[in-house]
Chains A and B, each alone.
Chain A
Amino acid sequence: DAGVIQSPRHEVTEMGQEVTLRCKPISGHNSLFWYRQTMMRGLELLIYFNNNVPIDDSGMPEDRFSAKMPNASFSTLKIQPSEPRDSAVYFCASSLLGGERSYEQYFGPGTRLTVT
């Protein structure tokens, strides 16, 4: 299995531009999570989907952030307009929820976003 795939791995953009981060979860997993990691705030959960439906988006910082999961094999996190404080590493993770309780999430390699 290829694991969770994220693209791009690095993104440098100017303030005000739209940024789209992409994630392909592990095949067969039914849940997908978006996290953001910074030195100041650590690793924060932004939003998670179960069966392609957003379950909890309370971690999304503001309306500039949006996430979609049009099908089981693809999700996007969009920031519009981007700001320098959005600079962080964004991780996508997937897991198989249901049945026996498992908190094993598989993380992707992350996208390092720099907004100048």
Chain B
Amino acid sequence: LAKTTQPISMDSYEGQEVNITCSHNNIATNDYITWYQQFPSQGPRFIIQGYKTKVTNEVASLFIPADRKSSTLSLPRVSLSDTAVYYCLVAPNDYKLSFGAGTTVTVRA
């Protein structure tokens, strides 16, 4: 499994864009990149997945450079309710997900 490295924590304010960068230098050719969000006392929730370039959905955007050694999750115009832990995962084709420590994002008013 490719190891991922992401910041332990990030602070932001309401209305700002939050960008979380994750490095995964040892990503394999068939691996996908996926991000999950977890609120306290809840199970993780899938946000987005991608293989290369850019993916956008109603919640976030995922930017993946050509070398795929890193990825950036972009949360537009965050609100207080976006305060959560965000996990970057490299997903192999056996569908086993390995969650790291994640990034705790705190959004302040």
Contact = CB atoms under 8 A, between A and B. Distances in A.
A43 to B, nearest CB: 4
Contacts of B46: 103-106
A43 B44 CA distance: 10
A97 B95 contact: yes
Interface string A39-78: 0001111001000000110000000000000000000000
Q: In terms of DSSP, what is the predominant structure of the interface of chain A?
A: strand
A107 B44 CA distance: 6
Contact of A103 (B42, B95, B101, B102): B95
A35 B97 CA distance: 10
A110 interface: yes
Interface residues of A, number: 25
A108 to B, nearest CB: 6
A42 B100 contact: yes
A103 B89 contact: yes
Contacts of B42: 107, 109-110
A95 B45 CA distance: 12
Interface of B: 32, 34, 41-46, 49, 87, 89, 91, 93-102
26 contacts: A4-B43, A31-B95, A33-B97, A42-B100, A42-B102, A43-B44, A43-B87, A44-B99, A45-B98, A48-B95, A56-B94, A91-B43, A91-B44, A93-B43, A95-B95, A103-B34, A103-B49, A103-B89, A103-B91, A104-B46, A104-B49, A105-B44, A105-B97, A107-B44, A107-B45, A109-B42
